[in-house]
Amino acid sequence: MIAFVNGTVAALAPDAAVVEVGGVGMAVQCTPNTLSTLRVGRPAKLHTSLVVREDSLTLYGFADDDERQVFELLQTASGVGPRLAQAMLAVHSPDALRRAVATADEKALTAVPGIGKKGAQKLLLELKDRLGEPVGAPAVGAPASTGWRDQLHAALIGLGYATREADEAVTAVAPQAEAAEGAPQVGQLLKAALQTLNRAR
């Protein structure tokens, strides 16, 4: 198993990074939060989880080992594959997921694309004794839904766009974010923002 990759960031995409390790480019699937911490040409260390399928080998990367462990624990629940586990971590931090499960917060889970009310109830039952207790204090201040602007802006800067371009793209997708039910999905907003930037160029 590949536990981590440590090298230079060669390229960034909306949902993945390429990290050069010993002359080999490793494609790593990442959440927008993780991607926003990376810069092309800069060193990076990503904790990874290798998902093996009959027709593919996919490497998922995380900013820290706690996130990687939660990613793997989420997949022990029936019906949760790597894509859904990654989507859950794109919307919620590991501790936010632990709190949601500990407090039986269905609304938090249904904010994740692909999880409905029944699916959330099932996940709460299955994950109750698996994720453990939250290790950090709950965030105080603005609700999580307002953080999408900072996350999206950081992700665009990480992809090489200028601050002005990132500002304009965030403004352009704001109506879409505000119209979304529950917490805006940063991954979807990033794709929309990239489309507006490509049209502008």
CATH of the domain at 104: 1.10.150.20
Residues 77 and 43 in one domain: no
The pLDDT of residue 43: 96
Do 26 and 78 reside in the same domain of the chain? no
Which residue among 62, 79, 105 closes a domain?
Answer: 62
Q: Is the dihedral of CA 111, 113, 116, 122 positive or negative?
A: negative
Confidence (pLDDT) at 140: 40
* Domain termination residue (choose one: 77, 97, 127): 127
- pLDDT tens for 74-98 read 999 999 999 999 999 988 889 999 9
Split into its structural domains, the chain has a count of: 3
pLDDT of 146 reads 47
Number of CB atoms found within 10 A of residue 194's CB: 18
Structural element, H or E, at residue 153 = helix 148-158
Residue 118: domain span:
65-127
Q: Are residues 90 and 108 in the same domain?
A: yes
104 or 146, greater pLDDT = 104
- Domain-embedded: residue 139: no
Q: 50 and 77: one domain?
A: no
Mean pLDDT computed over every residue of the chain: 85
In a domain, 190, yes or no: yes
Please state, for a pLDDT cut of 90, what percent of the chain lies above it.
45
**Residue 137 placed within a domain:** no
Around Cβ 176, how many Cβ atoms within 10 Å?
14
d(CA 35, CA 11): 11
What is the pTM (predicted TM-score) of this model? 0.68
Q: 92 and 58, same structural domain?
A: no
Do 156 and 109 share a structural domain?
A: no
Same domain, residue pair 49 and 81: no
18 pLDDT more than 60: yes
Q: Are residues 70 and 122 in the same domain?
A: yes
Q: Is 47 domain-assigned?
A: yes
In-domain check, residue 135:
no
Q: CA 179, CA 14: separation in Å to the nearest integer? A: 22
* pLDDT (mean) for 57-81: 93
Name the band, by pLDDT with cuts 50, 70 and 90, for residue 197.
Answer: confident
What's the pLDDT at 121? 93
Same domain, 101 and 154: no
Say if residue 136's pLDDT is above 90.
no
Q: E strands within the chain?
A: 4-12, 16-21, 24-29, 43-53, 56-62
| CATH classification of the domain holding 14 | 2.40.50.140
Check whether residue 57 and residue 71 sit in a common domain: no
pLDDT 10s digits, 140-165: 433 444 477 877 877 777 677 788 88
Choice among 19-23, 101-105, 188-192 with the minimum mean pLDDT: 188-192
The larger pLDDT score, comparing residue 107 to residue 187, is at: 107
Per-residue model confidence (pLDDT) at position 88? 92
Does one domain contain both 52 and 74?
no
What's the pLDDT at 28? 96
> Are 63 and 34 within 8 A, CB to CB?
yes
What average pLDDT does the segment 118-130 reach? Answer: 90
Assigned domain for 54 exists? yes
